[in-house]
Structure 1
Amino acid sequence: MLIYNCKNCVEEERDPMKIPTKQNILTAMRWLVQNCQAGDSLVFYFSGHGHRQIDCSEDEPDGFDEALCPLDHATEGLLVDDEINETIVRPLPHGAKLHAIFDASNSGTVLDLPLICRMKSEGFYEWEDQTYGTPRPIYKGTRGGLAVCFSACDDDQSAARTPAFTGKMAGALTFSFTQTVHNEPVLTYGRLLNAIRSSFRKNNQSNQEPLLTSSARFDVYSKKFIL
């Protein structure tokens, strides 16, 4: 499991390898998938700032790359979705799985997975294929494993850090995700996503839509969520 919380722990961190610089995050990502094999279950969590920029590789349907903002992004640059996907998604072998959780703005497709689960009214959903409508379609899947991502908001939205949930500042996705998993030990992906969406609405965070993206299609209401 990899955890990067860029919002809270930077000032107190004394280990230079744990400071969330671009190089440290990439090094940790490579460690996460190194020697990965069937039966392995990987988790990557990021809480911090997100951004988007013009897509120069022409593989994004909306014309923008999504990105994370490392601590040193002003000098070393953003960590762009293409690089994230290449580092922790494409190496996944058959039988391995990766769960990524991004509590950041503009993070909807920051893992660059090909499929978005679009929730409709009354709980209906459909998988939206991101490989259509791009000038230069590029394979963004795995080597047979399953990669699933929960993001705080859509690509053109901001992620809230708010006292609305507990009275103290907290990321909307982080709080809603952890509370749901803690309170409901047996969950499906669909139930988890809808519970997060419901928590957002209840706490007046309806301006951001949490997203579920995946490397492969599955029935979100029958597949159990297991880290």
Structure 2
Amino acid sequence: MNDRETLQIPVIVNQILSETLAAGFQMASEPLTGSLLRTLTASKPSGYFLEIGTGTGIGTAWLLDGMDNHSKLITVENDRLVAAIAQKHLGQDSRVSFCLEDAAILIKRLLEQQQRFDLIFADTWIGKYTHLEETLSLLKPGSFYVIDDMLPQANWMEGHESNVNLLIENLENRQDLILTGGNALVARAFLRQFSGSGNPSARLSRYSTLVLTKLNWASGIVIATKK
């Protein structure tokens, strides 16, 4: 089996890629990752999706390619120059909303609005290495949290591998509480209630766990869901 055969790369991805290379942007999603994202969004009819880190819109285009006409995508980027490439090629698609701002500000606002998503693709520092708790709180039960670039990359800063290892360890060992109709503040209040009286995570485990799959494939993928 050759996983790079018949990928059916969307035409618009190749168009965006040309401008991406010309702009010198080196952090775009690669085709295998894009193909996975397309499959996951296709599994959620009328889905509500969040992409943290639009970049030039290559990952965005793959997400959109799997979405049906009733699905919606919010994507956020703080770099005006690269975001302009994405909006040039994808801005006419009514299913996607572009946010040009700090992702941390958007995440805070989404939590305040008690919004929840069927899939979150965290493709930048925020949502992975910072603001992880807040980002996971935006997941619906049974939804997907997807991160990439977990295998060594040419553009990694020195020492970044330790950040990756700590992130994966955190995801593997956490217990998450799902409260229908609740929010992250309620969950934290629950934790405070049991602090100092045994192991709160043991009590939480009977409610839900974060189910994780690590893929030594593409750029290194981690997929997680709450059950």
Q: TM-score if structure 2 supplies the norm length? A: 0.31
Structure with the bigger percentage of strand = 1
- The structure with higher relative contact order (CA 8 Å, sep 6+) is 1
